[in-house]
């Protein structure tokens, strides 16, 4: 299925890196001819109807002004990018409590082909938003790391698929098919130290499946060598100049990954490149 309708949730502050990430997100949408709905939220808990006074605690007032200013700044950056890349778009600004905003984003994403999210490194707000979309939307999520935004490509010529034969990984492959079919190079990678027969057969089977869709892919295993799966993926992306990493989200339970760590938590916390996740 072609990707034609995209949600762009905007949270955080309109910093230089955030603006660069918004620019790249809109550029990707323009490259594939998709429409984008940008949604920004001001925090209703620090609502806008306050009067600043010198003899009162003005914390709430300052936060209210900052929240509204941040949301408007993000939408302004989006509007400029949409105009520059000629992207069909819609913009919405809402006043919601933090938890209600997450629910709103998740519900809105259900009627989109894809959500694109600028992700700030090691930021709990970004992580919560990505997780809500993964678990609540039923749609894939494409993460744009703010810290690397300036160097990211908007055409995904080199794609790596993190493959472990799980249902989330299979869903991710299916959701990423439009990007995979347009790529020049596709690599299927399995992180393992053992290279079991079942792992080798599974990787080869995925390559054969992709061939049925006109995608020429290669398969390889990468050693963990005492590292975590997430760190292995990060190194692979860096060493092989990967434009897009495709992977399933939360093979183990979210609670287990929160306590013990895991590939999903590592990658969401700091995406090494464009990352497309499904569950």
Based on the fold, state whether residues 43 and 107 are members of the same structural domain. yes
pLDDT tens-digit series, residues 90-145: 999 998 888 899 999 999 999 999 999 999 999 999 999 999 999 999 999 999 99
Based on the fold, state whether residues 166 and 260 are members of the same structural domain. yes
In DSSP terms, which residues pair with 222 in a beta bridge? 191
Based on the fold, state whether residues 107 and 233 are members of the same structural domain. no
Percent of the chain with pLDDT over 70: 88
Residue 111: how many other CB atoms lie within 10 Å:
11
In which element (H, E) is residue 142 found?
strand 141-145
Based on the fold, state whether residues 142 and 254 are members of the same structural domain. no
pLDDT tens-digit series, residues 163-184: 999 999 999 999 999 999 999 9
Based on the fold, state whether residues 130 and 247 are members of the same structural domain. no
Q: What is the CATH number of the domain that holds 90?
A: 3.40.50.620
Based on the fold, state whether residues 267 and 223 are members of the same structural domain. yes
Based on the fold, state whether residues 10 and 28 are members of the same structural domain. yes
What are the helix (H) ranges across the chain?
A: 16-32, 59-85, 98-109, 124-136, 167-175, 177-182, 197-211, 229-240, 254-260, 263-269
Rounded mean pLDDT, 231-241: 95
In DSSP terms, which residues pair with 238 in a beta bridge? none
Based on the fold, state whether residues 14 and 126 are members of the same structural domain. yes
Based on the fold, state whether residues 30 and 102 are members of the same structural domain. yes
Residues with Cβ within 8 Å of residue 161, at least 6 apart in sequence: 169, 172, 173, 176, 180, 186, 187, 188, 189, 206, 217, 246, 247
- pLDDT computed for residue 261 by the predictor: 43
**pLDDT confidence bin for 69, thresholds 50/70/90:** confident
- pLDDT computed for residue 59 by the predictor: 52
Based on the fold, state whether residues 80 and 179 are members of the same structural domain. no
Q: Which domain holds residue 94?
A: 5-151
Spatial distance between the Cα atoms of 33 and 201, rounded to a whole number of angstroms? 37
Higher pLDDT, 119 or 58: 119
Q: In what order do the strands lie in the sheet with 244-248?
A: 89-96, 35-43, 5-10, 114-119, 141-145, 274-278, 244-248, 158-162, 185-191, 217-222
Based on the fold, state whether residues 12 and 132 are members of the same structural domain. yes
**pLDDT confidence bin for 226, thresholds 50/70/90:** confident
Domains contained in the chain, number: 2
């Amino acid at each position: 299925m072609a990707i034609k309708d995209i949600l762009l949730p905007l949270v955080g502050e309109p910093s230089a890196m955030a603006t660069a990430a918004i620019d790249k997100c809109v550029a990707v949408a323009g490259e594939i001819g998709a429409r984008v709905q940008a949604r920004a939220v001001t925090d209703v808990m620090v609502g806008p109807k306050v009067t600043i006074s010198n003899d009162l605690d003005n914390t709430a007032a300052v936060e209210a002004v900052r929240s509204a200013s941040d949301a408007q700044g993000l939408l302004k950056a989006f509007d400029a990018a949409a105009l520059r890349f000629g992207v069909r778009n819609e913009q919405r600004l809402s006043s919601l409590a933090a938890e209600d905003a997450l629910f709103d984003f998740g519900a809105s994403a259900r009627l989109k082909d894809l959500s694109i999210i600028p992700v700030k490194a090691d930021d709990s707000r970004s992580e919560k938003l990505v997780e809500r979309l993964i678990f609540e939307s039923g749609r894939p999520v494409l993460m744009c790391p703010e810290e690397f935004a300036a160097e990211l490509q908007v055409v995904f010529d080199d794609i790596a698929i993190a493959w472990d034969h799980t249902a989330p990984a299979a869903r991710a492959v299916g959701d990423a098919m439009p990007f995979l079919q347009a790529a020049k190079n596709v690599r299927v990678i399995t992180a393992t130290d053992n290279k079991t027969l079942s792992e080798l057969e599974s990787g080869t089977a995925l390559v054969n499946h992709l061939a049925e869709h006109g995608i020429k892919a290669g398969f390889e295993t990468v050693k963990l060598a005492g590292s975590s799966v997430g760190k292995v993926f990060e190194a692979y992306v860096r060493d092989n100049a990967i434009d897009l990493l495709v992977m399933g989200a939360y093979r183990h339970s979210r609670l287990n990954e929160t306590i013990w760590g895991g590939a999903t938590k590592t990658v969401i916390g700091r995406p090494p490149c464009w990352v497309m996740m499904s569950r």
